[in-house]
Structure 1
Amino acid sequence: MSRIDVHKTYKLYIGGKFPRTESGRYYPLNDKKGNFVANMCLSSRKDFRNAVVIARKAQRPWARATALNRGQILYRIAEMLEGRRAQFIAEIMKEGATKKQAEIEVDASIDRLVYYAGWSDKYQQVFSAVNPVASSHFNFSNLEPMGVVTIMAPEEQGLLGLVSVVAPAIVGGNTVIVLASETNPLSAISFAEVLNSSDVPGGVVNILTGNVNELHTHMASHMDVNAVIYCGKDENVISEINALASENLKRTILHKKSDWASDVCESPYFIEKTQEVKTTWHPTKV
């Protein structure tokens, strides 16, 4: 007997849970040949606002975790991703990549997580300083997380691009709301399943799917967001993000890269970009 296929709808990932979009909207994802693959949730402004509330609540406890603990959690994510390597390769191939391209992307994503796990207890030593001053004080500068960061992930290399911008942001104590690639979103929600089983506290990473042109103005203008990262080359979008972010002095970080497998796409400076410098003065004598 013939049967009706059960078409999967990939849900969002907010606060450690997998809700459907509150709007009930979705869009069909097709492969390069036009064959149906799955339904993807089309996130709304309210989905984003809900994610910001949850990310803000999760941020302070995450920032207070030790650097060692955050590094251990990133390494655990890498372990879990390694264990599901075959699944991610298959999903990336569904989106049109060759097997070789998919293997390179998944392996690079695992390696990148390990890379940033190793930096978790070291970047402070690189970027912090004891400053010379002309008075009887010790003067220290060290990094602190900005807080809540919104990210519009790269359209290309849906898994590697997402990992490359999320890992440095969270290892530094930030929480994030990520809008996954619209054209290559499959691995993003599967990556959320990895996060959910990797000791990452709920709310630290929140993943939405949908349309950049619909959500970028909200992600750049929300007054409880501290920084926005845009991975794309649309100059109109960049101009709007810069203008809206200026209303509450939100930091804007722009990435126009197209090959996230390149070595220049991993650096402790990616961690530093979502940090603020706090300077403390302490008297040397009474």
Structure 2
Amino acid sequence: MSEKSEKTEKTDKSERLSVFKTYKLYVGGKFPRSESGRVYEVTDSKGNWLANAPLSSRKDARDAVVAARKAFGGWSGATAYNRGQVLYRVAEMLDGRREQFAAEVAAAEGISKAKAAAQVDAAVDRWVWYAGWTDKIGQIVGSANPVAGPFFNLSTPEPTGVVVVLAPQASSFLGLVSVIAPAIATGNTVIVVASEKSPLPALALGEVLATSDLPGGVVNILSGRTAEISPSLASHQDVNAIDLTGADDGLAKELQIAAADNMKRVLRPRGAKDGDWSADPGLDRLKAFLETKTVWHPIGV
């Protein structure tokens, strides 16, 4: 190659335009822009610009509820074993994009790449862990009840329905997975309000879910101002439960009052327990959004 050709090639490379990633919402298995067209700047821990994220409106929140309700029948009606297979497939997809998520978590939370990679590994492991519980939790919370009469009396768990999840503000990926996976493992569908400061890992998770076996509408991801989006979701008559993990004390109190209008099930923030996402998660979140159905059946003679 001549000297002139080498200079031309170097000039072309240096003048190449940067192609920035366009983040979108994830609603009903699709990637819409915010209905309002608004975005907000997402920065790293040092204030450096990372991307523009969609600023969701109340209309986006209502669309997410419609999508979640539409998906609920099929997802809750699937066998627990099948739900476990689908969740495991999501874990496979996450593991295949490990480096991408490690880079996004490192930028979002201002930690080293090694620590970010460890968090991503823990998140993948946790997704697998919940996948394994889908067909076992019924044996833990269900029961055969003794009664005075010629009847079988059986109590079995059923999903609550459409669940709104306010994702943890500080743990942009491990905490996010820790609140989404148990809710859908038991047959619920969810609307996730991503971390306001660090929404990019959550929005990237939508791309993984869209290319996995998870039906559209089972998980819907919104980004934006938590205090702006969540009140309309808390008061929505077609939402059955709300997880307040990502709300501060003042907002949590406001949302509990709004949720009482149609007697939603509410999972309140747990303070320090919600801060250490690397700890053993236990079964609390698997049981949080389950209802108990009791059936009487005559004993055949």
Question: How high is the TM-score relative to the length of structure 1?
Answer: 0.96
What is aligned with 2:288?
Answer: 273
Q: Quick one: which of 43, 48, 72 aligns to 1:35?
A: 48
- Could you tell which deviates more after superposition, 37-46 or 224-233? 224-233
The answer to whether 1:204 aligns with 2:221 is no
The answer to whether 1:49 aligns with 2:66 is no
Structure 1 pair 182/147, CA: closer, same or farther in 2 (3 Å)? Answer: same
The answer to whether 1:9 aligns with 2:22 is yes
Residue 189 of structure 1, CA deviation = 1.1
Q: Quick one: which of 253, 256, 267 aligns to 1:253?
A: 267
Equivalent residue letter for 1:62: W
What is aligned with 1:66?
Answer: 79
- Could you tell which deviates more after superposition, 98-107 or 170-179? 98-107
Structure number, greater radius of gyration? 2
State the identity %.
54
Structure 1, residues 183-240: CA drift from partner, whole Å, max 9, x if none?
1111111111111111000000000001111112112100000000011462211111
Distance 1:153 1:233 in 2: 8
Query: For 2:292, what is the secondary structure of its paired residue?
Result: strand
Structure 1, residues 229-282: CA drift from partner, whole Å, max 9, x if none?
01146221111111111110100002331121111xx22231111010001111
Contact (CA 8 Å) 2:195, 2:246: kept in 1 or not?
A: no
Equivalent positions of 1:75-86 (< 5 A) are 75-86=88-99
Unaligned stretches of 5+ residues in structure 1: none
Contact (CA 8 Å) 2:122, 2:174: kept in 1 or not?
A: yes
Equivalent positions of 1:22-171 (< 5 A) are 22-95=35-108, 96-171=110-185
Contact (CA 8 Å) 1:172, 1:275: kept in 2 or not?
A: yes
Distance 2:246 2:164 in 1: 14
Distance 1:100 1:5 in 2: 27
The answer to whether 1:180 aligns with 2:202 is no
Distance 1:166 1:58 in 2: 16
CA RMSD of aligned residues (A): 1.4
Residue 285 of structure 1, CA deviation = 4.7
Structure 1, residues 30-77: CA drift from partner, whole Å, max 9, x if none?
112222110000000000100101110100110111111100111111
Distance 1:118 1:220 in 2: 30
Query: For 1:138, what is the secondary structure of its paired residue?
Result: strand
Distance 1:248 1:80 in 2: 37
Question: How high is the TM-score relative to the length of structure 2?
Answer: 0.91
Contact (CA 8 Å) 1:28, 1:36: kept in 2 or not?
A: yes
Length, aligned pairs only: 284
Q: Quick one: which of 279, 286, 294 aligns to 1:262?
A: 279
Contact (CA 8 Å) 1:232, 1:254: kept in 2 or not?
A: no
